[in-house]
Chains A and B, each alone.
Chain A
Amino acid sequence: MDRLTVRIWRGDAAGGAFAAYEVAARENQTVLDVVSEIQREQEPALAYRFACRVGMCGSCAMEVNGRARWTCRTHVRRVARPGEALTLRPLPHLPVIRDLATDMAPFFDKWARAMGSFQPKDAPDGAVPEDFAVVPPGSKARREADAGIECIGCGVCHASCDVVAWNPDYLGPAALNRAWTLVNDVRDGAQAARLAAVSGDAGCHSCHSTQSCTERCPKGLDPSSAIAGLKRRLFWDALLGRRG
């Protein structure tokens, strides 16, 4: 049977180097299958992360041959030609814990800074509102929110965005995409504070519309357009003096 060469970055925050492994090249195998096989049969100490294996949890992202991807839904034959090696690194733009496992805390801290959590209008203490809010599925705001809501928090977009590397404060595509879904949530009561949080150099105004995030998002979301929405809203608010 053909062999597949896999180069895996091994190390921690202090540094590291690539180690090479070989596994059987099968017709149907995902990158995550390969990593799991190596961990189980050759390198029990190999650190990596996964949970659902079906593209729902967002925990398995790595850099595969130069590009950030979710590994549980990435077939080896789609990223490496027959005979070509796989090169795996931890997800870029986040601190490495060990080997292929990165520390996602800074990524989710940015969601918090972008006010990426729902702030109910009529129940400020988090209590369940009296009545159900009616949000027509066809309304423009609802469609904007729906377009970005399926984010699994995998960090692939964040890893693919140069501005994140150039400006460590930059909130990045996932957090800003999340903020845009909430800006379009008519039940949310924290709009002014959220728009202030996503404005400026750390926020949407540092995005240069390279669309790397949109290009690479495994869920087919479009953070770049969500960020454009934030810019548009803030532009007209500033021009028409709509907020403080």
Chain B
Amino acid sequence: MTTTYEPNKVLSNKEFKVVGTRPVRPDGADKVTGRAQYGADLQLTGLLYGKTLRSPHAHANIKSIDFKKALALEGVKAVVSAKDFPETKDTANYGLGDSPMNYFRGNILADKKVLYKGQAIAAVAASSVHVAEAALSLIDVKYEVLDAVLTAPEGMAKDAPILHDDLFTKEFEKQTKVNSNIAEHFQHKMGDIDEGFAGADVIVERTFDTATVHQGYIEPHNVTALWNDDDRIHVWTSTQGAFTVRAAVSEALAVPVSKIKVTPMEIGGGFGGKINVYEDPAAALLSKKAGHKPVKMVMTRAEVFEGTGPTPGSHMTVKMGATNEGKIVAAQANLAMEAGAYPGSPVGAGAMCVFTAYDIANVTIDGYDVVVNKPKTAAYRAPGAPNAAFAAEQVIDEIAEKLNIDPLELRLQNAAKEGTRRADGPIHPRIGCVEVLEAMKEHHHYQSPLTPAKNGGKVGRGVGIGFWFNIGMQSACNISVNNDGTVNLVEGSTDIGGSRASIAMHAAEVLGISYEDVKPQVADTDSVGYTAITGGSRTTFATGWAAYEAANDVKAQLIDRAATIWGVDPDSVEMEEGVLRSKTDTELNMSFKDLSAQLNDTGGPIVGRGAVDPSGIGGSFCGQIVDVEVDPETGKTDILRFTVVQDAGKAIHPSYVEGQMQGGSVQGIGWALNEEYYYSEDGRMNNPTFLDYRMPTSLDLPMIDTVIVEVANPGHPYGVRGVGEANIVSPQAAVANAIKSAVGARMEKMPMNPAAIMEQLWS
């Protein structure tokens, strides 16, 4: 069934000319003609090809590595291993917090120990990919295989094999003397949890397990690196943060950032998974050792699954209590998430989001970051929050069921508002939780009867709501005026989903010119100020803000220039809708276009700059309504109808906002129903292909209806909240709740594939 888009629920009352329209993206023509240059498309003179040798074991000591035979193969130019890293300091920080250098480097090229199957050990550069691959099979590595730990509960067990002999549990940064796989334990506490439960009429407690999943971007990681004869390094790569890559290469190789230039190529999806840096430092080392020849490395799909990502599996207990009237009075969560081989799971974020949609007086949340023999986890769209919401949003659903209250009504009754204190401490600023829930309740999907079954199965409806806090961080932007009344905009955020357009729209709005007159460009690290990752839903918010600042700088200079030309006081000149005019003398006016033509004769070029590290971040709420059909004979689940409602603050480019909502929701559906790393007992992933790691196809889905709610973020000039992530938080729970309503099975395991549903039905 095709449904037309809901009109947007607009609560911000500012009027805009460009903001809120849906222009075609500036890189569009290149991307529909095959001309856009992605990392793997790069060709350089004298190019060599690199390949990585990866561990076949999940946990093993490396006894020795012998390269003799590989080096003897014709066409092999260089090999590298951890031995090629220079002496350096103990801690690495490439813009995302501190980590011990041996952990950071260990995930690039393992030293004495491998901690997951697929971990990089060595790399080869050769005249072709085929030769490089042949050389890998000639490298002789001797291992001492150890027992593997594959889940958080296994890792936390008393007698678990220990991954790192230098890892001691931290308790909110207190270093304990316990050598264990628990890297960190933290706690958020508010009110009195025992008192809270004592006052509850119903209490629901359940334990949930979710599997490891991958971000699943279609473009594999790739890098080309040239360590030039003058010792300057140039890296071309597919990344969410060119400056992050620069810092990581600098930290790994102990080369100053001024000697490294990173050119971000077009990027074929990231979702958080292209923030971590993998083969880039090894490619640079290979380039140097091969006699300063450029080296290109492109991962295979299996390498992407086994060596990058994923987002963690988790083990979580959630307990909530409510009064008969439907007031939630206590909530407790115990969240353990797999960090993978090195500390750093997103459990902190999960803890921050688990009960954030609700106003609850008594809350305790414990989080555990547990290392296991799986790839080091990477961010994946609202990292940690979907796991937590899968648990909490099902427990709430069960409370609603027990109290016989409509599930959206129960959520509305307890919804967080401006002024509500979150369990981790801070107070919510203006948020759109209530508005999102109301829009869901009023939506004709929620108002209409269940979608009829297509194949004679049982149908059910579920809802869920999720939160993501979003981030700010540094962004820079320059705008220079062309003499034909257009501007060039240079920014540093790699564009994964149309952000060039939304950033350009900020500038066009300020200058009062058309969107087409702003030409945005993503620059390399030598050509623009420091700009943090495209991630955390920050790009439109922060880099858009930098563009807003740069455009205002241009505007101020234009006003000055017009005043000079007219010989009047700049304070008496204003610029509105692309026209400069005197506030007092109606004779004095001039279009931006006319002024731009005169710049070179009246004082020279005008260049504006914007550099920000903004506060005023606005978190986003997003909810889903889903109708499913479950075949009670097989457990197969089909999505019949799906509606997603999100608070965008202000949708700069509504089509791209809808795209984020649809994309995030569908990733959530895949996570809910199918996706999982399927492990053998000794820690090998059994399904590292798109055939067996099954992501949703067009055939698995209906249209994804969207409603954009706009509760303006007072912290941004146009009211923007980030929209990239909140949409993946609760689809899993909404699907689980729909399955429960269809067949009566409460799903405590994810994915909810046919086997899991049948198991639950028979139990």
Q: Are A and B part of the same complex?
A: no
Q: B residues touching A (Cβ–Cβ < 8 Å)?
A: none
